[in-house]
Chain A
Amino acid sequence: MLKWYKEAGNNSDVIISSRVRLARNLKAYPFSAKLSENQAKEMVTKVKDAGLHLQEKEEKKYYSCNVDMLSDTEKTAMMERHIISPLLIAKEQSTGLILSEDEKISIMINEEDHIRIQSIVGGMNMTEAFYLANTADDITSELFDYAFHEKYGYLTSCPTNLGTGLRASYMMFLPALTVAGKVIKLAEELGQYGIALRGTYGEASKSLGSLYQISNQKTLGSTEKEIMDSLNRIVEQVMKQERRQREYILTNGYDEFEDKVYRSYGVLKYAKQLSSGDAMTLLAQLKLGADLALLKFKDNYNIHELMMEIQPANLQCQLDKNIGSVQRDKYRADYIRKKLPDIQ
């Protein structure tokens, strides 16, 4: 079964993935801030069972686990693959997770809300992402009595998620807008439409491989479809701007850009040490070069998959041991060298 990041999606030159998150709470328990450890434990045990229910109804394999019992490396690796959030890792209470085999659906237990259903699919396909999360929500809601208010909708721990509890987000690859220094201006403009733009792993934008998340901020007063439609309209615009900027690069600095892309390939293919920041920047160059058909791989290859695999915790999970940062940089360079396909 293909994991979402191995699938080729629509508009994958600019949109890496589409993600939906639904926040839900059980009526019978206090919200996270007032939940006792015993109640938290009880909740994890109870909700984890929903995994079996989902498996039965959807005829798809689901796994579940107690997140607080995992090692820090395992938790961080899951965060790097966007399965769980940094907040879930930071929680001191009992926390849990239900995960589908293809990693498209994950349900976090005891994050900011009792239940956070998340679905993620490759490319621009919010319709499928919403369908998956919504179906999982329908099935899960057969087991629990959700906190729902006639006027305010789904009640959430923080009033900023009230109503639909829906956060729809696209992970976008915006290298040309980044180079042109237009991303901060873009973030300000999007803010006026209630759309947030932020870095993917919360790190400084420069070393991120030009990956950004664009998502709705308002959750109350519009239907799920209206929220996603308005996000889609804006994302289409961002996509147009990015492509226009890419054309500009091609027409106004082709030679320089071509040189950069091939140099990036050269460094990635022959370097002996690579920090994750350097690797991300170089891989972003390579992805842009491949997207613009400036450079062709002999085999069809998804560079974003490699971007996730070379994150520090994911690398350590592959090795099955913790290593220091110098060793990790060496291993990362080795890993990339082996994985990168030849160019035509």
Chain B
Amino acid sequence: MLCDKCKKNEAKIYYTEIINGEKKEQHLCEDCAMEYSSFQMGTPFMNQEITLGNLLSTILGNYYKENSHSGEHAEKELHCKGCGMTYSEFLKEGRFGCVKCYDTFKKVLEKSIKSIQGSDTHTGKKPKGFETKTEKLVKELPELDKLAIKLQDAIEKEEFEEAVKIRDRIRELKKEEMNNA
């Protein structure tokens, strides 16, 4: 059999590609297989990141099939209220339509995101001024409780000089409270 790509050399390699759940088989010669399967995926515009997007939608697609009793039924349920993106549309594109999609497709996303990223929780940079829910809660606590949390945190991080300062501040505050009472 001749190579599907160059149509000149003998095809020695059977190359199977699965994109968006669709299987595509090709018979390639050694030269074309090297080129096709390593860095160049068809066109220069198909870079690695796009391939990753396709990979993601394939994994999500499989997960979704496993977890729905009726495909059609579940598909209707998953529909973003923010931008109107449907689940099948997302599977096809590999890209979300808006911020709200992350909440809409949360259930199917959670497990898959972990299998692709190796984690599902961000630990890096935050925009300036961004407060987490915990930080907001802590902010509303009385001063003494806030200091108690800070003290615990300093001890856990083994920042003992800071811990001593916080402890002294707690003592001062308690004294003031006693005097006021």
Find residues 93-130 in chain B having any chain A CB closer than 8 Å to their own CB: 93-99, 101-102, 109, 113, 116-128, 130
Q: Out of A25, A166, A198, which one reaches B99, CB within 8 Å?
A: A25
CB-based nearest B residue for A196:
B48
By a CB distance below 8 angstroms, the chain A residues around B118 are 194, 218, 220-221
**Interface presence of A202 (CB below 8 A):** yes
By a CB distance below 8 angstroms, the chain A residues around B85 are 33-34
A158 touches B94 (CB 8 A): yes
B124 touches A166 (CB 8 A): yes
Minimal beta-carbon separation of B39 from chain A (angstroms): 4
A158 with B53: in contact, given A33-B96, A34-B98 (CB under 8 Å)? Answer: yes
CB-based nearest A residue for B121:
A151
Contact with A along B79-95 (1 / 0, CB 8 A): 00011110000000111
Minimal beta-carbon separation of A172 from chain B (angstroms): 13
B126 touches A86 (CB 8 A): no
A33 with B95: in contact, given A86-B44, A196-B48 (CB under 8 Å)? Answer: yes
B49 touches A152 (CB 8 A): no
Minimal beta-carbon separation of B98 from chain A (angstroms): 4
Find residues 51-106 in chain A having any chain B CB closer than 8 Å to their own CB: 85-87, 90
Contact with A along B25-56 (1 / 0, CB 8 A): 00000000011001110011111111011001
| Bound Cα distance from A92 to B84, whole angstroms | 21
Find residues 129-165 in chain B having any chain A CB closer than 8 Å to their own CB: 130, 132-133
By a CB distance below 8 angstroms, the chain B residues around A204 are 35, 39-40
Among A87, A163, A187, A219, find the residue whose CB has the most chain B CB atoms closer than 10 A.
A163
A199 with B40: in contact, given A146-B127, A164-B122 (CB under 8 Å)? Answer: yes
A160 touches B52 (CB 8 A): yes
- Interface size of A in residues (CB-CB distance below 8 Å): 56
Among B52, B98, B102, find the residue whose CB has the most chain A CB atoms closer than 10 A.
B98
A162 touches B117 (CB 8 A): yes
CB-based nearest A residue for B105:
A159
| Bound Cα distance from A217 to B113, whole angstroms | 13
Q: Out of B39, B101, B123, which one reaches A199, CB within 8 Å?
A: B39
Minimal beta-carbon separation of A16 from chain B (angstroms): 17
* B: contact size bracket: 35 or more
B84 touches A34 (CB 8 A): yes
Contact with B along A204-243 (1 / 0, CB 8 A): 1100000000000111111110010000000000000000
Contact with B along A139-181 (1 / 0, CB 8 A): 0011000111111111101111111101100000000000000
Minimal beta-carbon separation of B86 from chain A (angstroms): 12
Task: Show the binding face of A for B, using Cβ within 8 Å.
Answer: 25, 27, 30-34, 85-87, 90, 112, 134, 138, 141-142, 146-155, 157-164, 166-167, 184, 187, 194, 196, 198-199, 201-205, 217-224, 227
Could you jot down 12 A-B contacts, CB within 8 Å? A30-B83, A30-B98, A34-B97, A34-B98, A112-B95, A141-B127, A164-B125, A202-B47, A203-B40, A205-B39, A220-B121, A222-B124
